[in-house]
């Protein structure tokens, strides 16, 4: 078989592939149930619906993971794998806890004891500076209240 015959076969294959693709495109256009704009709008609606559901599921999964992580951190502390007080667990009424801390440590002010959910590290840092204790000691002190 010569070079000219191989080149001719490649041309025939390419022509057949292009003809098949063209026939597929034409058949798709003729048999499509809706116009292109309607189909795009349908897909857009479906994508919006499922993206909202996906966001809700991701939020729920994140909350579940955080709860499990805190549970396991507590178990590790109980088993002695991590140092006691390595994670902050403020429970109950913070105003009552503030009063107990102020009675134990007169040098603490309301500003030192300002606490907002999720900002435990800042509270621990201020108390470390004011009381001259380690992070683990402060965390244990707060958890024991």
Residues of the chain with pLDDT below 50 are: 1, 3
Q: Is this prediction's pTM over 0.85? A: no
Angle at alpha carbon of residue 68, lines to 127 and 83, rounded to 5°:
40
pLDDT at 121: 80
For 39, residues 6+ apart whose C-beta sits below 8 A from its C-beta are 32
Angle at alpha carbon of residue 61, lines to 55 and 67, rounded to 5°:
140
Separation of alpha carbons 114 and 61, rounded Å: 30
Separation of alpha carbons 138 and 68, rounded Å: 24
């Amino acid at each position: 078989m010569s070079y000219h015959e191989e080149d001719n076969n490649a041309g025939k294959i390419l022509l057949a592939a292009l003809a098949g693709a063209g026939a597929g495109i034409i058949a798709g256009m003729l048999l499509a149930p809706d116009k292109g704009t309607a189909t795009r709008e349908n897909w857009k609606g479906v994508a919006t619906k499922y993206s909202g559901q996906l966001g809700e599921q991701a939020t729920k999964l994140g909350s579940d993971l955080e709860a499990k992580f805190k549970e396991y951190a507590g178990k590790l502390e109980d088993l002695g794998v991590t140092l006691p007080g390595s994670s902050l667990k403020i429970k109950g009424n913070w105003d009552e806890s503030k009063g107990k801390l102020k009675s134990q440590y007169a040098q603490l002010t309301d500003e030192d004891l300002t606490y907002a959910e999720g900002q435990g590290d800042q509270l621990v840092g201020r108390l470390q500076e004011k009381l001259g204790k380690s992070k683990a000691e402060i965390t244990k002190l707060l958890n024991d209240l």
